[in-house]
Amino acid sequence: MNKQTSGAWLLALAFVSGAHADGTLFRWSFAPEVSGGPDLSEPIVTDRPDFTEASSTVGKGVLQLESGYTVVYDQSAGETETVHSWGEPLFRLGVWEDWFELRLGVFPLTERTDDNTTSGVDDSYLGAKFMLTPQAGLAPEMSLVPQMRVPTGSSAFTADEVLPGLNWLYGWDIDDIFSTGGSTQFNRRVDDVGESYTEWAQSWTVNAALADNIGSYLEYFVIAPHSAVAAETEHYVDGGFTYRPVNDVQFDIRAGVGLNEAAADMFAGIGLSLRYW
């Protein structure tokens, strides 16, 4: 057995123990007593408002609606562009087991430049989230999200083809106040000149609880095209706050800035998430 194959087996064996246990698909073999998964007695956990999505699922029988509004502003090459994303509904439905959820996202848009205004709907998002492991010490809570964009959008925004991707999510609770996590993903994309390429994205976020029902976060993320003709690497930093008046409702607010010339100058948004069970 070569080193690469041996390493793959060791990684697999690290969390094979306790498969199909409680709310996760696997448990870590060195800590089989540690279980995890969604806890409906705890406040709602959402994929918004940061770029880094939650490393947990919503739970069997739960419908979670996450929605909001985002404005993106960019001025480059003597032209100003403003994009408004209206509603941004993401439906998350827990089915079969606590560790599995189905996902559907729809994105109405208005794009304004100095000369034109275009409104319509972007291609729909379809996905599924598998919650793989609980956190066990330094070993993270992890989920995997196979996902795709399907060509259901308006003529001005659709890519006219299915764009598959994969998102790996991981996170740690440090103590009662701080938590951290990240995401590593790749997706097929089509650029402004109609050429397809692979888009890699990496993010890292740090979260802090300011009170029992108020949270905050600070995040960095990068979107990096591979083999693209027109798309360029974009770096961003953003932050925001969440407020939960009750366990099943969350309001959020966020803002961010681009860190390089290719990135949009700034973005900001608000949101509302609701959990039904």
- Is pTM beyond 0.75? Reply is yes
pLDDT of 195 higher than 90: no
Task: Give percent above pLDDT 90 in the chain.
Answer: 84
At residue 115, the pLDDT reads: 84
Res 21: pLDDT: 54
Round to whole Å and give the CA distance between 254 and 250.
13
Evaluate whether 189 touches 231 at the Cβ level (below 8 Å).
yes
The predicted-structure confidence for 9-40, as pLDDT tens digits, reads as follows: 444 445 544 445 579 999 999 998 898 999 99
Q: How is the chain split into domains, by residue range?
A: 3-276
**Percent of residues in the chain assigned helix, strand, coil, to nearest 5:** 5, 55, 40
Phi, psi of 217 (to 5 degrees): -150, 155
Instruction: Supply 149's token pair.
Output: 């964009």
Q: What's the CATH fold of domain 3-276?
A: Porin (2.40.160)
Q: What is the pLDDT of residues 140-156, one digit of tens each?
A: 999 999 999 999 999 99
Q: Is the pLDDT confidence value at 46 over 60?
A: yes
